[in-house]
Amino acid sequence: MAPIFNLANETLLTIEDLDKEEEIRKAVNACCQKFIKQFESSGHTISELATDLIKDESTIIVHSYSSTVLDALIFAKKAGKKFDIICTESRPMNEGVYLAEKLGKKGIKVTLIVDSAVFSFVPDAQIVFVGSDALSSYGLVNKIGTLGLAIAARELKTDFYALCSSAKILPAGYKIKLNDVKDPKEILSGTIETVTPINLYYDLTPLPNLNGIITEKGIINPHEMEQHIKRLRIHQKLSD
């Protein structure tokens, strides 16, 4: 998880020049407290910034489950914004169904669709919001299908934004690996001769496919984000 990596990285950088045990203990505690405070407070600012991008009577596409996206949409509704949601089911674990249920219980109008149908709905949407499992110079790590949705949104001139706490932004020296294949039984219960099911949970969307990344520090365009990532330090013990 990107936040855990960043907490470890920040802690190691903070204590690398300390020698006394008590100093190290205090520094580690301070890093943890700062991390918790930042992580808990970032959502509100992200919600405000996302709400400013929503025009009344607009249609918003969301993909997979993201607590940050959920909180932002609930915040927008409370702020008086009027909008409809198109939500993908997000197979194979159907996290999107869970998100749709949460939104529906808050009185937000949701249309739940199968993943492959989303491309037919992009032309009718004004904006796409997705969460982020991690973000690096390689791109946005999110639920499988995000890359295709981002490309479609770019070609059809529909704005595409990732909602991402800075705690999930990884330094340039950290290499992301996405070849973790999940249980094939989640997509094919039996076996078929000469058929090999490959079950991937995540894909990588290059940053230029995004209009921007909404963080607690502001809405950052892809080029600015790439420059920001280059400036992030990584401790030598965590570097590839």
User: Which spans in the chain are helix H?
Assistant: 2-15, 21-53, 67-78, 95-105, 118-121, 146-155, 222-231
Mean pLDDT check: name the lowest of 39-43, 58-62, 89-93. 39-43
Backbone angles phi, psi at 13, to 5 degrees: -65, -35
Mean pLDDT along residues 214-228: 97
Mean pLDDT check: name the lowest of 91-100, 131-140, 231-240. 231-240
The first and second tokens of residue 239, run together, are 């570097």
- Residue 240 — pLDDT band, cuts 50, 70, 90? low
Tell whether the model's pLDDT for residue 113 goes beyond 90: yes
The reported pLDDT for the residue numbered 117 is 97
Query: Domain-by-domain residue ranges, the chain?
Result: 44-231
- Residue 239 — pLDDT band, cuts 50, 70, 90? confident
- Give me the residue label for tokens 């949701």: 110
- 3.30.360.10, 3.40.50.10470, 3.30.300.20, 2.30.30.190: CATH of 44-231: 3.40.50.10470
C-alpha distances (whole Å) from 26 to each of 12, 21, 23, 49 are: 13, 9, 5, 34
Express each pLDDT in 168-186 by its tens digit.
999 987 888 777 899 999 9
Q: For residue 123, is the peptide bond before it cis, meaning its omega torsion is within 30 degrees of 0?
A: no
Q: What gap in Å lies between CA 98 and CA 46, rounded to an integer?
A: 21
Instruction: Give the total residue count for the chain.
Output: 240
